[in-house]
A and B are shown apart, each in its own frame.
Chain A
Amino acid sequence: MISEKFKKTILNELNLDDFDIQDDTTADQVPGWDSLNHINVILAVEKAFDVHFKGIEVLKCKNIGELQKLVNTKLDQK
């Protein structure tokens, strides 16, 4: 489940007013989330939740739902 804070962080970073993000939404479906901007989104998420991802953990994510899960796992480990 995509949390409100998580969604807001992404939309803020991409300067979007609103966009429907579901678990199975992929990065390339979100306007502005291209391969170059990807890094800014990841850094924004890391900062907002005060977590640090390993590169391989992010590369494994197939969709935004999996990135949310990764954030949750990191928060649980805190």
Chain B
Amino acid sequence: MPFNIDFSKVLQLFTYQEGDPLLFSTSFFIFFFFTLLLFYRLFAYKKNLRIFTLIIFSLFFYYKAAGEYFLILVVMTVANYYAGQILGNLKEGTGKRRFIFVLTLVVNLGLLGYFKYTNFFIRIINDISSGHIDALDIFLPIGISFYTFKGLSYVIDIYMRTFQPVKSFRDFSLYMFFFADLLIGPIDRAADMLPQIQSDINVPKENIGRGTYLIMSGLFKKIVIADFIGLNFVDRIFGDPTRYTGVENLLASYAYTLQLYCDFSGYTDMAIGVALLLGFNIMDNFNAPFKATSITDFWRRWHISLSSWLLDYLFAPLQMKLRNLRIYGNAIALFITFVAIGFWHGSNWTFIFFGFLHGLYMTASIFLKKPKTKIYNKLKLTNTKILKFSQGVITFHLVVFSFIFFRAFSIQSGWDVVNQIFSFFKGVVFMQFVDAYPMIIILMVIGYVLHFLPEKLEKWTENFVVRMPIVIQALLLTAMILLVIQFKFAGLQPNIYFKF
């Protein structure tokens, strides 16, 4: 029997399909990635060819995610490259230099604002003036929040003269386009990435092992844990919280907290793993965030590349400006930074409220620091295990509370979840729930236990995999892919962070 190849389907593989990006966890990605690796190794000692292969693959990857809007990325890259060149050449303190800098900020933030926030502001204007301005049909190019920040950090660093503009447009393009961190970060910095792009390729066996380990761990977190509990549990409860008891709402809040972490850090693990196989060390984004003993500590462990970006480029200048207000200046700067973190996530009041809550937590912690230290000293609790444990439990619940609003469709719907927990708890439902959904409970326990395991044990496991022969690593990866396929029956869920 002759093969009947449906060429239209083959073509679909290479063209933009709405809502169907090349996720790291799809078989198409794996196919394309291995083809890329092949050429990449082939061109290992031909720098130009190697870098162009990566640039072309990255552009294809982004075209598959955003269609013709991949041009936005190209425009931003060209604009930021030339802005960097001009800012690097102009003399410090001149009006022209300041003008070019402000113009670049306006272009970057203007594009981000237009694509992401226009309809949000139209809704606000309509609400205030009872007007009827029609919402615009605006496509949100995936990853725009991430690569805008990458471009901005490059330009700001050059303006501050803490970084020299890169000469090669080719190298800068790869920094901006690099597919591994393009869609949902980590938001890498030029100072870390450009030297790696410019140096010769070096992929020691250890990196291959670590990369494989991270891809496996990412697949497990994303597909087995996050997608499964999201689709089979969290979505139902958050879809209509008032139909469920408090105990179910509470479990859904814990489940969503785990889902968000596994979804986002799982994809980040895969991104870091994929980059390692190509010889790049990209930034870490998570460090066991639920082990945090304060909200400040939490933000040092959660979405590190975003929080450190805003710390450097928003908080620090604001803090410096307001320094004569001392502690109040710190509080105002922190509050603004966290509301900005919320707003960065999307054009919805729920995200702003999420940022507002964290702003509140952080400012409260500044003012409570001294009295708290006094009380702990008086009660001889300082540095005790019991204090650390209690702080951990409280911090975790403050985070869960904020994530309820992060997930809810509206602030009201978020309060519905909270109300159900406090006024309609019905603890007895718990056992029925365990009977009805044993898999959800098992996955939640596995997810949280793995998270709270000592760091040493995780390192040991990683090193154990790293030391294995490559053949065994490949077999392990295949086994993980097979496990993941078992869990994928419900269909692949796009990453939560793609929306941002």
Contacts and interface: CB of A to CB of B under 8 A. Distances in A.
Nearest to A39: B323
Contact of B329 (A39, A58, A59, A60): A39
B129 interface: no
Contact of B330 (A36, A55, A62): A36
B8 interface: no
Contact of A35 (B160, B315, B324, B326): B315
Contact of B326 (A43, A55, A56, A58): A43
Interface in A14-41: 35-36, 38-40
Contact of A55 (B161, B311, B320): B320
A18 B301 CA distance: 30
Interface of B: 160-162, 311, 315-317, 319-321, 323-324, 326, 329-330, 366
Size category of the A interface is 10 to 19
Given A39-B330, A62-B162, 18 more contacts: A35-B311, A35-B315, A35-B316, A36-B366, A38-B316, A39-B319, A39-B323, A39-B326, A39-B329, A42-B323, A43-B324, A55-B317, A55-B321, A56-B160, A58-B320, A59-B160, A59-B316, A60-B162
26 contacts: A35-B311, A35-B315, A35-B316, A35-B319, A36-B330, A36-B366, A38-B319, A39-B320, A39-B323, A39-B326, A39-B330, A40-B326, A42-B320, A42-B323, A43-B323, A43-B324, A43-B326, A55-B317, A55-B321, A56-B160, A56-B317, A58-B320, A59-B160, A59-B317, A59-B320, A60-B162
Contacts of A35: 311, 315-316, 319
The main secondary structure of chain B at its interface with chain A is helix
Nearest to B321: A55
A21 B324 CA distance: 26
Max count, chain A CB within 10 A of own CB: residue among B317, B323, B326, B330: B323
Max count, chain A CB within 10 A of own CB: residue among B320, B324, B329: B320
Interface of A: 35-36, 38-40, 42-43, 55-56, 58-60, 62
Nearest to A38: B319
A59 B315 CA distance: 11
A51 B170 CA distance: 44
Nearest to B365: A36
